[in-house]
Structure 1
């Protein structure tokens, strides 16, 4: 008697796999901030017909370029698990140095710009030396430098706004037409800087070492990375970026104002956090910081168009920061599990 084998049971259909590109897009650290930016733009476009106009969007980008450039330098430091509270005050001192030297004819305009950027780099070098060699906490070091830079700004400027600047200092504030919108050269410079550092952090050994330093300085040192030199260089490079932000600020305002940049350090940190960079170091992306700076600019511009007072704009921005840090904290806990 022969038996017939039962036909094999059909396997349940496999769940469709998400392609590698789609999965990478969803898990990319910039994806969340980008969705938030698009949602904010959509919301404010319904609240004000003026929001999506070319002139208004150009204004948002102009307002973002200074804080965004500051936030770029801040990102490098936060990736190493540090923080820089002095960036706004250092930038303000750089604006006064380059503006005063150029306006008074002490130095040629190009040399005055280099001097302003150089002064900011020296502040970064001093911050880095105290953090790396003296082993002081970055929070304390940069808090002290904030007060020093603030005082030097007012002493050197004699509480006077510097005006009648040479055209070379204000050239980045000039615009060129792009379609029906006028774009400043400074905005283009900011975007180029972000693209350059996105490449450096994502594609070079220096970038990989920076992330390793933020994840674990001791492990990075044991793998052969010269952590002291790397950290010192990052703080100095951040100072150079603050100097570039100082030039952008002068070009946008047309003056050297000793009162400028008083809250830009907090705005820069806000942009970094909203952009998905972890305050605990080792995780984040500079393009996320650019998106974070745009989120801040969009919210302030949109709320202003809606007639919301500036104090409420600050209140909402503070809430966004707390929300972003909370999300980062929960995501870190999930990774540890």
Structure 2
């Protein structure tokens, strides 16, 4: 057998080996690889250092604690992918929850949910209109809307909170128990929305256009993408997701409180950034955001069980955000060379 024959005989094995190495390389360099590794490390560390962290009850609690901010962060991800930002998402959710709560006190909870959806979508449409059609900076627009909506929620309720006793409005905090882990309908909704948006972003023309706008809006426009219409639609879709978060919030804490979730906007941005989505737009996804939300909750839960002061928890979260942004900046610089 000649040397050429030997090479030809070994070719399938070499291709298989190269293919395996390529698969491992793709997994290692995938955008969610870093956040997923960080989540696994955090779980291992807290499982070793505390005796109460790694049990089914606590893991179920972590998922439930992540659900509201995690769902808000899905909408935030869509907006950040277009190189925007939504500082008003938490306030929109709170406004939706108090509208739903107040109508449900004397009316039909189904009508309350529909009205809450309309209110949230209307605010999202205003954001989209000002940013897409008038080309105003997303940071300034949503900061202004944050102030207006926060005040509007308090004016609407006279700064009073409303207890929720409707089964429909609190149903998302219920759910089946599997192996000692309670999977609330709110958690299942969060996972379902993540899967739906992951498919939409990764497998549809709409998703391709969202990434294109975030990467280079001018080039996207030259390619025939209706940038204004799509950008407007992203803010409206995000507002629909915020309505789901409002429903989840009413289940988690059966009270419509205009002062609640005051840091939800920053928490959602933190989850998005830690999950690997670039603040510069065009890179990232909702699966990473789900992992990012879990990282933030695992960190808070684990440090609390370890007896660490909450101030240090904020320091740790802030450091993670800075590291994530720094890594993203380095990756972008390398790609631009």
User: TM-score, normalised to structure 1's length?
Assistant: 0.94
The equivalent of 2:98 in structure 1 is 96
- Aligned-residue offset at 1:22: 2.3
- Cα deviation code 1:143-197 (max 9, x no counterpart): 0010011001111111111014311100111132111122211100100000000
The equivalent of 1:217 in structure 2 is 217
2:194 and 2:287 in contact (8 A); partners too: yes
- Aligned-residue offset at 1:18: 5.2
Distance 1:134 1:47, change over 3 A: same
2:101 and 2:164 in contact (8 A); partners too: no
The equivalent of 1:68 in structure 2 is 70
CA distance in 2, matches of 1:180, 1:136: 50
- Cα deviation code 1:112-145 (max 9, x no counterpart): 0111122111111101100011111000000001
The equivalent of 1:81 in structure 2 is 83
Q: Give the 3-state SS of the residue equivalent to 1:17 in structure 2.
A: helix
- Aligned-residue offset at 1:261: 1.5
Q: Which runs of 4+ in 1 moved over 6 A?
A: none
CA distance in 1, matches of 2:257, 2:23: 47
2:211 and 2:282 in contact (8 A); partners too: yes
Aligned: 1:17 with 2:37? no
2:170 and 2:252 in contact (8 A); partners too: yes
CA distance in 1, matches of 2:76, 2:164: 31
The equivalent of 1:192 in structure 2 is 192
1:43-54 pair list within 5 angstroms? 43-54=45-56
- Cα deviation code 1:251-270 (max 9, x no counterpart): 11111111112001000000
The equivalent of 1:203 in structure 2 is 203
1:118 and 1:243 in contact (8 A); partners too: no
- Aligned-residue offset at 1:23: 2.6
- Cα deviation code 1:256-311 (max 9, x no counterpart): 11111200100000000000000000000110000000000100000110111222
The equivalent of 1:297 in structure 2 is 297
Distance 1:247 1:164, change over 3 A: closer
CA distance in 2, matches of 1:200, 1:139: 25
CA distance in 2, matches of 1:63, 1:255: 16
Distance 1:164 1:135, change over 3 A: closer
Structure 2: stretches of 5+ with no match in the other structure = 8-13
1:61 and 1:294 in contact (8 A); partners too: yes
Distance 1:165 1:212, change over 3 A: same
The equivalent of 2:158 in structure 1 is 158
Q: How well do the aligned residues superpose, as a CA RMSD in angstroms? A: 1.7
Structure 1: stretches of 5+ with no match in the other structure = 1-6
Task: Decide which structure has the larger Cα Rg and report it.
Answer: 1
Q: Where is the helix percentage greater, Structure 1 or Structure 2?
A: 2
CA distance in 1, matches of 2:191, 2:237: 17
The equivalent of 2:11 in structure 1 is none
